[in-house]
Amino acid sequence: MSASEHGSMVDTDSENSFEIVRKQCDICAALLELPDDIFELIRNPMREIKVAIPVRMDDGTLRVFEGFRVQYNDVLGPTKGGIRFHPDETIDTIRALAAWMTWKCSLLELPLGGAKGGVICNPKVMSAGELERLSRGYVERIWSFIGPDKDIPAPDVYTNPQVMAWMMDQFSKIAGKNQFGVITGKPLYIGGSIGRNTATARGALYVIVEAARTAGMNLSEASLAIQGYGNAGFNLAFLANDIFGCKIAAVTDQRGGVYNKDGLDPIALYNYKMQNGTVGGFPDSEELKNGELFSLDVDILCPSALENVITKRNAGSIQASIIAELANGPTTPDADDILFDKGIQILPDFLCNAGGVTVSYFEMVQNFSMLYWDEAEVFERLKKKMATAYHSVLNSSEKHKINMRQAAYMVAVQRIADAMVLRGWA
């Protein structure tokens, strides 16, 4: 069966993240005319690890948490990817994120493969001591599968530099020596990199700058609507407003949304959210429901939180000229087709949000060399990486007359397929 024939095997209406990944792989394989053996390798994870983690809780009871690590593909180098602590975590979500990380590293020409990890838990109801024991217990279960030259975890949803510090320390204890390079996203004093906290948003902004230039858009007059106001969403709003004078017209989070055609103050809005738990009710703004954000008359739409929020049901109402995907998997394949037909330029997730893994790679380089860069050098290197990746995708899109996501897949997967052939994997 040819790669093109595989394409009909996946339900395009499914909202399962890993099925969406496979559908995207199918489309890419058909465009590249990949041989069947390479096709099968790129659509299946290389290794999946499932563990049971016993944790002594503060009340003396013992709870067993379920954890995962998916190492999707390491043909380009050791795998790399975050660890999530979330009550609704699933293995299919982890598989999808590990695949996207694989394409992301390839697209940015990082010498890394893709991985992702997760633990099913609710960190919001756990004490610091319970989180530390869970973090160390997770490493105790997977330590033989990770390492600076095997697989390098990083923070993700509901994990942070402190969690990474505990994990790095536990691995170092098992190894019998300091192993700062086993984890990225660490605090600065123990091998972290300057710029990592804002890297995802800053990388996205560098891509937006290139896309705006291509579209003839003046960013000083541009308006943004941002779905999700966590670390990535807030930092994008702040940087876009501070550096270019972009107007932040609308912001939504899980509990509410606000709109002001004259622009919202991103810092004041963030402080308000920290005090109230939501952006809803922010002074001098109109109430906005989450779904209403997508049909606003703005220049740039930035989904920065959840998967599958732009679908065939709402894609037709989008008025933005550019969609910058800071979230992983916010747009379904059917929506991609609609947006492409409307002439909307999508900056696909594994291009747009690649600033985080790129600066994590910089952290690895600094750990290995024991020579640490200043902020200006980190940001200049990041800017160059993001701009180069954007133009490689744009050139592929224009050459093959395909949407930006398909073009990003073609660039990334072709590099992986070539490496597989060179290494004799297929």
Of the candidates 104, 116, 186, 385, the residue annotated as catalytic is 116
Q: Which two tokens stand for residue 54?
A: 């016993």
> Which domains can be identified in the chain, with CATH numbers?
1-44 (no CATH), 45-178 (3.40.50.10860), 199-352 (3.40.50.720)
Amino acid 294: pLDDT: 95
Query: What pLDDT shows up at residue 157?
Result: 87
The C-alpha torsion from 403 through 404 and 407 to 412, rounded to 10°, is -150
Alpha-carbon separation of residue 245 from 207, 352, 403 (angstroms): 17, 20, 29
Separation of alpha carbons 275 and 28, rounded Å? 45
pLDDT one digit per residue (tens) for the chain, 426 residues: 333 333 322 333 446 889 888 888 888 899 999 999 999 999 999 999 999 999 999 999 999 999 999 999 999 999 999 999 999 999 999 999 999 999 999 999 999 999 999 999 999 999 999 999 999 999 999 999 999 999 999 999 899 999 999 999 999 999 999 999 999 999 999 999 999 989 999 999 999 999 999 999 999 999 999 999 999 999 999 999 999 999 999 999 989 999 999 999 999 999 999 999 999 999 999 999 878 999 999 999 999 988 889 999 999 999 999 999 999 889 988 899 999 999 999 999 999 999 999 999 999 999 999 999 999 999 999 999 999 999 999 999 999 999 999 999 999 999 999 999 999 998
Residue 10 confidence (pLDDT)? 32
Q: Give the separation between CA 248 and CA 318, rounded to whole angstroms.
A: 17
3-class SS string, 123-136:
HHHCCHHHHHHHHH
pLDDT score of 3: 34
pLDDT of residue 23: 87
Question: Has 116 been annotated as catalytic?
Answer: yes
How far apart CA 265 and CA 247 sit, in angstroms, is 9
How confident is the model at residue 25, as a pLDDT? 87
